[in-house]
Chain A
Amino acid sequence: MAKTIMIVDDSSSLRTVVGLALKGAGYDVVEGCDGRDALAKLDGRKIHLVISDVNMPNMDGITFVKQMKNLPAYKFTPVIMLTTEASEAKKTEGRDAGVKAWVVKPFQPQQMLMAVQKLVLP
Protein backbone atom coordinates (compact mmCIF):
# COMPACT_ATOMS: atom_id res chain seq x y z
CA MET A 1 0.00 0.00 0.00
CA ALA A 2 1.30 3.44 -0.95
CA LYS A 3 2.54 5.67 1.84
CA THR A 4 0.87 9.03 2.36
CA ILE A 5 2.72 12.33 2.45
CA MET A 6 1.18 15.65 3.41
CA ILE A 7 2.31 18.77 1.53
CA VAL A 8 1.64 22.10 3.24
CA ASP A 9 2.34 25.20 1.14
CA ASP A 10 0.37 28.32 0.29
CA SER A 11 1.67 28.22 -3.28
CA SER A 12 -0.52 25.90 -5.32
CA SER A 13 2.16 25.63 -8.02
CA LEU A 14 4.67 24.42 -5.42
CA ARG A 15 2.15 21.89 -4.12
CA THR A 16 1.63 20.67 -7.68
CA VAL A 17 5.35 20.37 -8.41
CA VAL A 18 6.08 18.54 -5.14
CA GLY A 19 2.95 16.42 -5.55
CA LEU A 20 3.95 15.32 -9.04
CA ALA A 21 7.42 14.32 -7.88
CA LEU A 22 5.98 12.33 -4.97
CA LYS A 23 3.22 10.67 -6.98
CA GLY A 24 5.82 9.76 -9.59
CA ALA A 25 7.76 7.99 -6.84
CA GLY A 26 4.65 6.04 -5.80
CA TYR A 27 3.44 8.05 -2.81
CA ASP A 28 -0.10 9.21 -2.08
CA VAL A 29 -0.41 12.94 -1.41
CA VAL A 30 -2.60 15.03 0.89
CA GLU A 31 -2.42 18.82 0.45
CA GLY A 32 -2.87 21.69 2.88
CA CYS A 33 -2.79 25.32 1.74
CA ASP A 34 -1.51 26.60 5.11
CA GLY A 35 -0.86 25.41 8.68
CA ARG A 36 -4.46 25.81 9.77
CA ASP A 37 -5.83 23.91 6.78
CA ALA A 38 -3.25 21.15 7.27
CA LEU A 39 -4.07 20.78 10.98
CA ALA A 40 -7.75 20.37 10.09
CA LYS A 41 -6.81 17.53 7.77
CA LEU A 42 -4.90 15.65 10.48
CA ASP A 43 -8.04 13.74 11.38
CA GLY A 44 -6.46 10.48 12.43
CA ARG A 45 -5.53 9.27 8.95
CA LYS A 46 -2.11 7.73 8.62
CA ILE A 47 0.47 10.28 7.43
CA HIS A 48 3.93 8.85 6.91
CA LEU A 49 5.68 12.20 6.42
CA VAL A 50 4.91 15.93 6.27
CA ILE A 51 6.56 18.44 3.93
CA SER A 52 5.79 22.00 4.97
CA ASP A 53 6.62 25.56 3.95
CA VAL A 54 7.55 28.06 6.69
CA ASN A 55 6.03 31.38 5.65
CA MET A 56 2.31 30.91 5.10
CA PRO A 57 -0.83 32.91 5.87
CA ASN A 58 -3.16 31.98 8.76
CA MET A 59 -0.63 29.68 10.41
CA ASP A 60 3.09 29.49 9.65
CA GLY A 61 4.98 26.23 9.24
CA ILE A 62 6.82 26.23 12.57
CA THR A 63 3.61 26.82 14.55
CA PHE A 64 1.92 24.09 12.52
CA VAL A 65 4.70 21.61 13.34
CA LYS A 66 4.54 22.47 17.03
CA GLN A 67 0.76 21.96 17.13
CA MET A 68 0.99 18.77 15.07
CA LYS A 69 3.53 17.33 17.50
CA ASN A 70 0.98 17.87 20.28
CA LEU A 71 -1.41 15.46 18.58
CA PRO A 72 -0.69 11.92 19.84
CA ALA A 73 -1.32 10.33 16.43
CA TYR A 74 1.26 12.57 14.77
CA LYS A 75 3.79 13.01 17.54
CA PHE A 76 6.39 10.95 15.73
CA THR A 77 5.49 11.88 12.15
CA PRO A 78 8.70 13.17 10.53
CA VAL A 79 8.65 16.67 9.04
CA ILE A 80 10.69 18.20 6.25
CA MET A 81 10.58 21.97 5.89
CA LEU A 82 10.67 23.10 2.26
CA THR A 83 11.20 26.85 2.33
CA THR A 84 12.99 29.89 0.98
CA GLU A 85 14.15 30.58 4.54
CA ALA A 86 17.85 29.90 4.71
CA SER A 87 18.81 31.57 7.98
CA GLU A 88 20.41 29.50 10.71
CA ALA A 89 18.10 31.06 13.28
CA LYS A 90 15.03 29.75 11.46
CA LYS A 91 16.61 26.34 11.01
CA THR A 92 17.32 26.16 14.73
CA GLU A 93 13.74 27.16 15.44
CA GLY A 94 12.58 24.37 13.14
CA ARG A 95 14.87 21.78 14.69
CA ASP A 96 13.65 22.74 18.17
CA ALA A 97 10.06 22.27 16.97
CA GLY A 98 10.86 18.71 15.87
CA VAL A 99 11.70 19.17 12.20
CA LYS A 100 13.93 16.40 10.79
CA ALA A 101 15.24 18.06 7.62
CA TRP A 102 15.41 21.53 6.12
CA VAL A 103 15.32 21.91 2.34
CA VAL A 104 15.96 25.37 0.89
CA LYS A 105 14.05 26.32 -2.26
CA PRO A 106 14.59 26.10 -5.15
CA PHE A 107 14.67 22.35 -4.63
CA GLN A 108 15.56 19.57 -7.04
CA PRO A 109 12.93 16.80 -6.96
CA GLN A 110 15.61 14.08 -6.75
CA GLN A 111 17.16 15.71 -3.69
CA MET A 112 13.80 16.07 -2.03
CA LEU A 113 12.89 12.46 -2.81
CA MET A 114 16.17 11.35 -1.29
CA ALA A 115 15.27 13.19 1.94
CA VAL A 116 11.75 11.72 1.81
CA GLN A 117 13.02 8.16 1.37
CA LYS A 118 15.44 8.65 4.23
CA LEU A 119 12.82 9.90 6.66
CA VAL A 120 9.50 8.34 5.67
CA LEU A 121 8.04 6.08 8.32
CA PRO A 122 8.04 2.34 7.53
Chain B
Amino acid sequence: MRPIPATILHIVALLCGTLGLLLLASGIWAWLLAAACLIAGIAALLLDRRPAETGPRHPAHSTDISPATPPAGQADALLSAILPLWDHNVSLARQQTEQAADDLVSRFSAIMVRLKQALNGDQPGSGQVLQVISSSDRQLQDILAALEQAAQERQRFQQEITSLASFTEELKRMASDVAHIAGQTNLLALNAAIEAARAGEAGRGFAVVADEVRKLSTMSGETGKHIREKVETVNTSMQAMLDLSQDFASRDQRLISDSGDTIRSVIGAFEQASALLAQDLEELRGASQAIESDISEVMVNLQFQDRVSQILSHISADMQKLGSVAERRQLAEQDPQQWSAELSRSYTTLEQHIADRHKSALPAESTITFF
Protein backbone atom coordinates (compact mmCIF):
# COMPACT_ATOMS: atom_id res chain seq x y z
CA MET B 1 0.00 0.00 0.00
CA ARG B 2 1.33 3.40 -0.89
CA PRO B 3 2.25 5.41 2.25
CA ILE B 4 0.39 8.62 2.89
CA PRO B 5 2.67 11.56 2.20
CA ALA B 6 4.02 13.22 5.37
CA THR B 7 2.98 16.70 4.24
CA ILE B 8 -0.63 15.62 3.82
CA LEU B 9 -0.50 13.95 7.23
CA HIS B 10 0.81 17.15 8.75
CA ILE B 11 -1.88 19.24 7.16
CA VAL B 12 -4.64 16.86 8.16
CA ALA B 13 -3.30 16.66 11.71
CA LEU B 14 -2.97 20.41 11.78
CA LEU B 15 -6.50 20.94 10.50
CA CYS B 16 -8.07 18.35 12.79
CA GLY B 17 -6.17 19.55 15.85
CA THR B 18 -6.94 23.18 15.22
CA LEU B 19 -10.61 22.73 14.42
CA GLY B 20 -11.05 20.29 17.29
CA LEU B 21 -9.51 22.68 19.74
CA LEU B 22 -11.48 25.58 18.35
CA LEU B 23 -14.70 23.62 18.73
CA LEU B 24 -13.82 22.65 22.28
CA ALA B 25 -12.59 26.07 23.13
CA SER B 26 -14.73 27.97 25.58
CA GLY B 27 -12.22 30.49 26.77
CA ILE B 28 -9.41 32.61 25.51
CA TRP B 29 -6.66 30.21 26.58
CA ALA B 30 -8.17 27.36 24.62
CA TRP B 31 -8.35 29.69 21.62
CA LEU B 32 -4.73 30.64 22.17
CA LEU B 33 -3.74 26.98 22.39
CA ALA B 34 -5.61 26.25 19.19
CA ALA B 35 -3.90 29.16 17.50
CA ALA B 36 -0.51 28.02 18.78
CA CYS B 37 -1.18 24.48 17.40
CA LEU B 38 -2.10 25.98 14.08
CA ILE B 39 1.06 28.08 13.88
CA ALA B 40 3.20 25.20 15.12
CA GLY B 41 1.70 22.89 12.51
CA ILE B 42 2.31 25.40 9.77
CA ALA B 43 5.89 25.86 10.96
CA ALA B 44 6.38 22.07 11.02
CA LEU B 45 5.01 21.87 7.53
CA LEU B 46 7.41 24.52 6.36
CA LEU B 47 10.30 22.74 8.03
CA ASP B 48 9.34 19.53 6.28
CA ARG B 49 9.29 21.36 2.97
CA ARG B 50 12.95 22.28 3.61
CA PRO B 51 14.67 18.92 4.08
CA ALA B 52 18.14 20.28 3.44
CA GLU B 53 17.86 22.72 6.35
CA THR B 54 15.74 20.74 8.74
CA GLY B 55 16.99 17.25 8.02
CA PRO B 56 19.71 17.13 10.67
CA ARG B 57 17.34 18.48 13.34
CA HIS B 58 14.55 16.05 12.40
CA PRO B 59 16.26 12.82 11.37
CA ALA B 60 13.06 10.84 11.73
CA HIS B 61 11.45 12.94 9.06
CA SER B 62 14.19 12.24 6.58
CA THR B 63 12.58 8.91 5.81
CA ASP B 64 9.35 10.74 4.96
CA ILE B 65 11.13 12.66 2.21
CA SER B 66 10.76 9.73 -0.06
CA PRO B 67 9.65 9.35 -3.66
CA ALA B 68 6.13 9.12 -2.19
CA THR B 69 6.33 12.73 -0.91
CA PRO B 70 4.29 14.96 -3.20
CA PRO B 71 6.21 17.50 -5.18
CA ALA B 72 6.54 21.03 -3.76
CA GLY B 73 3.93 22.36 -6.15
CA GLN B 74 1.36 19.91 -4.81
CA ALA B 75 1.74 21.19 -1.22
CA ASP B 76 1.56 24.77 -2.46
CA ALA B 77 -1.66 23.97 -4.29
CA LEU B 78 -3.11 22.19 -1.30
CA LEU B 79 -2.29 25.04 1.06
CA SER B 80 -3.55 27.70 -1.31
CA ALA B 81 -6.81 25.77 -1.49
CA ILE B 82 -7.19 25.03 2.21
CA LEU B 83 -5.89 28.21 3.83
CA PRO B 84 -8.74 30.44 2.60
CA LEU B 85 -11.16 27.93 4.12
CA TRP B 86 -9.33 28.05 7.45
CA ASP B 87 -9.22 31.81 7.26
CA HIS B 88 -12.94 31.90 6.60
CA ASN B 89 -13.59 29.65 9.61
CA VAL B 90 -11.35 31.71 11.88
CA SER B 91 -13.15 34.90 10.76
CA LEU B 92 -16.47 33.22 11.37
CA ALA B 93 -15.41 32.20 14.88
CA ARG B 94 -14.20 35.73 15.56
CA GLN B 95 -17.43 37.29 14.34
CA GLN B 96 -19.55 34.91 16.38
CA THR B 97 -17.48 35.50 19.51
CA GLU B 98 -17.73 39.23 19.01
CA GLN B 99 -21.47 39.12 18.41
CA ALA B 100 -22.08 36.88 21.44
CA ALA B 101 -19.87 39.03 23.68
CA ASP B 102 -21.58 42.23 22.50
CA ASP B 103 -24.97 40.66 23.16
CA LEU B 104 -23.90 39.52 26.63
CA VAL B 105 -22.47 42.92 27.51
CA SER B 106 -25.59 44.63 26.23
CA ARG B 107 -27.86 42.39 28.33
CA PHE B 108 -25.68 42.67 31.40
CA SER B 109 -25.54 46.43 31.09
CA ALA B 110 -29.37 46.53 30.89
CA ILE B 111 -29.53 44.42 34.07
CA MET B 112 -27.04 46.78 35.74
CA VAL B 113 -29.15 49.81 34.83
CA ARG B 114 -32.29 48.18 36.23
CA LEU B 115 -30.45 47.21 39.39
CA LYS B 116 -29.17 50.74 39.85
CA GLN B 117 -32.68 52.10 39.43
CA ALA B 118 -33.96 49.66 42.03
CA LEU B 119 -31.13 50.55 44.41
CA ASN B 120 -31.66 54.27 44.01
CA GLY B 121 -35.34 53.84 44.89
CA ASP B 122 -36.53 55.20 41.55
CA GLN B 123 -39.24 52.57 41.44
CA PRO B 124 -42.45 52.94 43.47
CA GLY B 125 -43.35 50.23 45.96
CA SER B 126 -41.58 49.53 49.20
CA GLY B 127 -40.35 53.09 49.54
CA GLN B 128 -43.89 54.44 49.24
CA VAL B 129 -45.18 51.88 51.73
CA LEU B 130 -42.57 53.08 54.20
CA GLN B 131 -43.65 56.67 53.58
CA VAL B 132 -47.32 55.77 54.11
CA ILE B 133 -46.47 53.96 57.35
CA SER B 134 -44.44 56.92 58.57
CA SER B 135 -47.21 59.36 57.62
CA SER B 136 -49.92 57.21 59.30
CA ASP B 137 -47.78 57.01 62.39
CA ARG B 138 -47.58 60.80 62.56
CA GLN B 139 -51.34 61.19 62.01
CA LEU B 140 -52.18 58.66 64.72
CA GLN B 141 -49.81 60.42 67.11
CA ASP B 142 -51.66 63.67 66.35
CA ILE B 143 -55.02 62.02 67.11
CA LEU B 144 -53.66 60.68 70.37
CA ALA B 145 -52.42 64.13 71.33
CA ALA B 146 -55.83 65.68 70.45
CA LEU B 147 -57.64 63.10 72.58
CA GLU B 148 -55.37 63.77 75.53
CA GLN B 149 -55.95 67.50 75.16
CA ALA B 150 -59.74 66.94 75.11
CA ALA B 151 -59.46 64.91 78.32
CA GLN B 152 -57.52 67.71 79.99
CA GLU B 153 -60.17 70.27 78.95
CA ARG B 154 -62.96 68.08 80.34
CA GLN B 155 -61.05 67.83 83.62
CA ARG B 156 -60.81 71.64 83.76
CA PHE B 157 -64.56 71.88 83.11
CA GLN B 158 -65.20 69.48 85.96
CA GLN B 159 -63.01 71.54 88.27
CA GLU B 160 -65.07 74.61 87.36
CA ILE B 161 -68.33 72.83 88.23
CA THR B 162 -66.86 71.60 91.51
CA SER B 163 -65.79 75.13 92.27
CA LEU B 164 -69.33 76.36 91.45
CA ALA B 165 -70.79 73.75 93.83
CA SER B 166 -68.72 75.19 96.65
CA PHE B 167 -70.59 78.53 96.17
CA THR B 168 -73.94 76.89 96.86
CA GLU B 169 -72.84 76.11 100.41
CA GLU B 170 -72.03 79.75 100.87
CA LEU B 171 -75.40 80.70 99.41
CA LYS B 172 -77.11 78.31 101.81
CA ARG B 173 -75.26 79.90 104.72
CA MET B 174 -76.25 83.33 103.49
CA ALA B 175 -79.92 82.25 103.26
CA SER B 176 -79.68 80.96 106.84
CA ASP B 177 -78.22 84.29 107.84
CA VAL B 178 -81.13 86.06 106.19
CA ALA B 179 -83.60 83.79 108.08
CA HIS B 180 -81.73 84.40 111.31
CA ILE B 181 -81.74 88.19 110.75
CA ALA B 182 -85.47 88.00 109.93
CA GLY B 183 -86.09 86.07 113.16
CA GLN B 184 -84.12 88.61 115.19
CA THR B 185 -85.93 91.49 113.44
CA ASN B 186 -89.26 89.81 114.20
CA LEU B 187 -88.27 89.47 117.84
CA LEU B 188 -87.17 93.08 117.86
CA ALA B 189 -90.48 94.18 116.29
CA LEU B 190 -92.37 92.12 118.85
CA ASN B 191 -90.49 93.82 121.71
CA ALA B 192 -91.12 97.19 120.06
CA ALA B 193 -94.86 96.39 119.88
CA ILE B 194 -94.85 95.44 123.59
CA GLU B 195 -93.05 98.63 124.47
CA ALA B 196 -95.46 100.64 122.26
CA ALA B 197 -98.44 99.04 124.03
CA ARG B 198 -96.93 99.94 127.40
CA ALA B 199 -96.49 103.53 126.28
CA GLY B 200 -100.23 103.66 125.64
CA GLU B 201 -101.65 106.32 123.34
CA ALA B 202 -98.23 107.85 122.85
CA GLY B 203 -96.86 104.57 121.52
CA ARG B 204 -99.76 103.84 119.09
CA GLY B 205 -97.88 105.20 116.06
CA PHE B 206 -94.79 103.31 117.06
CA ALA B 207 -96.90 100.15 117.41
CA VAL B 208 -97.91 100.51 113.74
CA VAL B 209 -94.26 100.81 112.73
CA ALA B 210 -93.34 97.83 114.89
CA ASP B 211 -96.10 95.82 113.27
CA GLU B 212 -94.88 96.75 109.79
CA VAL B 213 -91.31 95.81 110.75
CA ARG B 214 -92.58 92.47 112.04
CA LYS B 215 -94.40 91.88 108.72
CA LEU B 216 -91.22 92.74 106.83
CA SER B 217 -89.17 90.45 108.99
CA THR B 218 -91.68 87.68 108.36
CA MET B 219 -91.41 88.36 104.61
CA SER B 220 -87.61 88.41 104.89
CA GLY B 221 -87.75 85.11 106.70
CA GLU B 222 -89.96 83.69 103.93
CA THR B 223 -87.57 85.02 101.29
CA GLY B 224 -84.61 83.51 103.12
CA LYS B 225 -86.47 80.24 103.24
CA HIS B 226 -87.16 80.42 99.49
CA ILE B 227 -83.53 81.25 98.81
CA ARG B 228 -82.48 78.30 100.84
CA GLU B 229 -84.90 76.04 98.95
CA LYS B 230 -83.71 77.36 95.59
CA VAL B 231 -80.10 76.99 96.62
CA GLU B 232 -80.92 73.49 97.72
CA THR B 233 -82.49 72.77 94.31
CA VAL B 234 -79.55 74.33 92.46
CA ASN B 235 -77.17 72.42 94.67
CA THR B 236 -78.99 69.15 93.96
CA SER B 237 -78.93 69.84 90.20
CA MET B 238 -75.32 70.86 90.34
CA GLN B 239 -74.43 67.75 92.29
CA ALA B 240 -76.32 65.66 89.74
CA MET B 241 -74.47 67.46 86.95
CA LEU B 242 -71.19 66.98 88.78
CA ASP B 243 -71.89 63.30 89.21
CA LEU B 244 -72.88 63.01 85.57
CA SER B 245 -69.80 64.96 84.52
CA GLN B 246 -67.62 62.72 86.63
CA ASP B 247 -69.21 59.70 85.03
CA PHE B 248 -68.60 61.20 81.58
CA ALA B 249 -65.07 62.15 82.49
CA SER B 250 -64.37 58.73 83.85
CA ARG B 251 -65.88 57.10 80.76
CA ASP B 252 -64.00 59.50 78.45
CA GLN B 253 -60.79 58.85 80.30
CA ARG B 254 -61.29 55.13 79.85
CA LEU B 255 -62.13 55.66 76.17
CA ILE B 256 -59.12 57.88 75.65
CA SER B 257 -56.94 55.45 77.51
CA ASP B 258 -58.26 52.52 75.43
CA SER B 259 -57.91 54.54 72.21
CA GLY B 260 -54.40 55.51 73.23
CA ASP B 261 -53.56 51.88 73.84
CA THR B 262 -55.06 50.88 70.48
CA ILE B 263 -53.29 53.69 68.68
CA ARG B 264 -50.01 52.90 70.38
CA SER B 265 -50.50 49.24 69.48
CA VAL B 266 -51.20 50.15 65.84
CA ILE B 267 -48.21 52.49 65.81
CA GLY B 268 -46.10 49.73 67.33
CA ALA B 269 -47.27 47.28 64.67
CA PHE B 270 -46.57 49.89 62.00
CA GLU B 271 -43.12 50.53 63.37
CA GLN B 272 -42.42 46.82 63.51
CA ALA B 273 -43.67 46.32 59.96
CA SER B 274 -41.73 49.36 58.88
CA ALA B 275 -38.55 48.07 60.53
CA LEU B 276 -39.01 44.64 58.93
CA LEU B 277 -39.65 46.21 55.55
CA ALA B 278 -36.62 48.46 55.95
CA GLN B 279 -34.56 45.43 56.92
CA ASP B 280 -35.85 43.51 53.90
CA LEU B 281 -35.07 46.48 51.71
CA GLU B 282 -31.58 46.70 53.16
CA GLU B 283 -31.03 43.00 52.56
CA LEU B 284 -32.38 43.36 49.04
CA ARG B 285 -30.12 46.35 48.50
CA GLY B 286 -27.14 44.33 49.76
CA ALA B 287 -28.03 41.41 47.49
CA SER B 288 -28.51 43.75 44.55
CA GLN B 289 -25.17 45.37 45.20
CA ALA B 290 -23.52 41.94 45.30
CA ILE B 291 -25.21 41.01 42.02
CA GLU B 292 -24.19 44.34 40.52
CA SER B 293 -20.61 43.73 41.59
CA ASP B 294 -20.70 40.19 40.11
CA ILE B 295 -22.16 41.44 36.85
CA SER B 296 -19.55 44.16 36.73
CA GLU B 297 -16.86 41.52 37.20
CA VAL B 298 -18.42 39.33 34.47
CA MET B 299 -18.48 42.30 32.12
CA VAL B 300 -14.84 43.03 32.84
CA ASN B 301 -14.05 39.39 32.10
CA LEU B 302 -15.89 39.69 28.80
CA GLN B 303 -12.98 41.84 27.65
CA PHE B 304 -11.48 38.54 26.50
CA GLN B 305 -13.47 39.03 23.31
CA ASP B 306 -11.39 42.05 22.33
CA ARG B 307 -8.13 40.19 22.88
CA VAL B 308 -9.39 37.02 21.15
CA SER B 309 -10.50 39.14 18.22
CA GLN B 310 -7.07 40.72 17.89
CA ILE B 311 -5.25 37.40 18.25
CA LEU B 312 -7.50 35.78 15.64
CA SER B 313 -6.90 38.78 13.36
CA HIS B 314 -3.19 38.12 13.53
CA ILE B 315 -3.69 34.41 12.78
CA SER B 316 -6.00 35.30 9.93
CA ALA B 317 -3.53 37.78 8.47
CA ASP B 318 -0.74 35.22 8.74
CA MET B 319 -2.85 32.55 7.05
CA GLN B 320 -3.60 34.96 4.24
CA LYS B 321 0.10 35.66 3.94
CA LEU B 322 0.86 31.92 3.84
CA GLY B 323 -1.90 31.35 1.33
CA SER B 324 -0.49 34.07 -0.88
CA VAL B 325 2.99 32.51 -0.70
CA ALA B 326 1.54 29.07 -1.49
CA GLU B 327 -0.35 30.53 -4.42
CA ARG B 328 2.90 31.92 -5.81
CA ARG B 329 4.48 28.47 -5.29
CA GLN B 330 7.14 30.04 -3.04
CA LEU B 331 6.59 27.90 0.03
CA ALA B 332 9.95 26.19 -0.24
CA GLU B 333 11.75 29.53 -0.32
CA GLN B 334 10.44 30.64 3.08
CA ASP B 335 12.66 30.82 6.15
CA PRO B 336 10.68 29.46 9.13
CA GLN B 337 12.63 31.52 11.66
CA GLN B 338 12.13 34.71 9.73
CA TRP B 339 8.46 33.88 9.30
CA SER B 340 8.13 33.20 13.02
CA ALA B 341 9.94 36.45 13.87
CA GLU B 342 7.64 38.44 11.60
CA LEU B 343 4.63 36.82 13.20
CA SER B 344 5.98 37.70 16.65
CA ARG B 345 6.31 41.33 15.64
CA SER B 346 2.61 41.47 14.86
CA TYR B 347 1.68 40.38 18.40
CA THR B 348 -0.05 42.97 20.51
CA THR B 349 -1.11 41.21 23.68
CA LEU B 350 1.20 40.28 26.49
CA GLU B 351 -0.22 36.75 26.44
CA GLN B 352 0.90 36.27 22.84
CA HIS B 353 4.45 37.28 23.70
CA ILE B 354 4.45 35.00 26.73
CA ALA B 355 3.00 32.08 24.75
CA ASP B 356 5.57 32.68 22.05
CA ARG B 357 8.31 32.25 24.63
CA HIS B 358 6.67 28.89 25.58
CA LYS B 359 5.81 30.14 29.04
CA SER B 360 2.52 29.59 30.76
CA ALA B 361 0.05 31.86 29.03
CA LEU B 362 -1.71 33.28 32.05
CA PRO B 363 -3.88 36.36 31.68
CA ALA B 364 -1.95 39.54 32.15
CA GLU B 365 -2.70 41.83 35.06
CA SER B 366 -3.89 45.23 34.10
CA THR B 367 -1.08 47.76 34.27
CA ILE B 368 -1.13 51.53 34.13
CA THR B 369 1.80 53.62 32.99
CA PHE B 370 1.67 57.37 33.48
CA PHE B 371 3.85 59.54 31.26
Contacts and interface: CB of A to CB of B under 8 A. Distances in A.
Contacts of B299: 16-17, 20
A22 B106 CA distance: 16
B366 A11 contact: no
A101 B366 contact: no
A103 B368 contact: yes
Contacts of B348: 54-55, 83-87, 90
Interface in B144-179: none
Contact of B307 (A95, A102, A105): A105
Contacts of B368: 101-104, 111-112, 114-115
B363 A106 contact: yes
A91 B349 CA distance: 13
A95 B370 CA distance: 9
Contacts of A85: 348-349
Contacts of A20: 109, 112, 296, 299
Contacts of A103: 366-368
A10 B239 CA distance: 98
Given A86-B353, A95-B371, A13 B300 contact: no
B367 to A, nearest CB: 5
Interface string A81-122: 001111100110011000111111111110110110010000
Interface in A48-85: 54-55, 83-85
B257 interface: no
A10 to B, nearest CB: 9
A107 B297 CA distance: 11
Nearest to B116: A24
A84 B109 contact: no
Contact of B302 (A13, A83, A104): A13
B302 A17 contact: yes
A100 to B, nearest CB: 6
Contacts of A84: 306-307, 310, 348-350
24 contacts: A11-B98, A11-B102, A13-B98, A13-B102, A13-B104, A13-B303, A16-B299, A17-B109, A20-B109, A20-B296, A84-B307, A84-B349, A86-B350, A86-B367, A87-B348, A101-B370, A103-B367, A105-B307, A105-B349, A106-B301, A106-B304, A107-B366, A108-B300, A114-B368
Closest 4 CB pairs of A and B: A13-B105, A86-B350, A95-B371, A102-B369
Given A11-B309, A13-B302, 18 more contacts: A12-B102, A13-B98, A14-B306, A16-B102, A17-B109, A17-B300, A20-B109, A20-B112, A20-B299, A86-B364, A101-B370, A101-B371, A106-B303, A106-B366, A107-B366, A108-B366, A109-B296, A112-B368
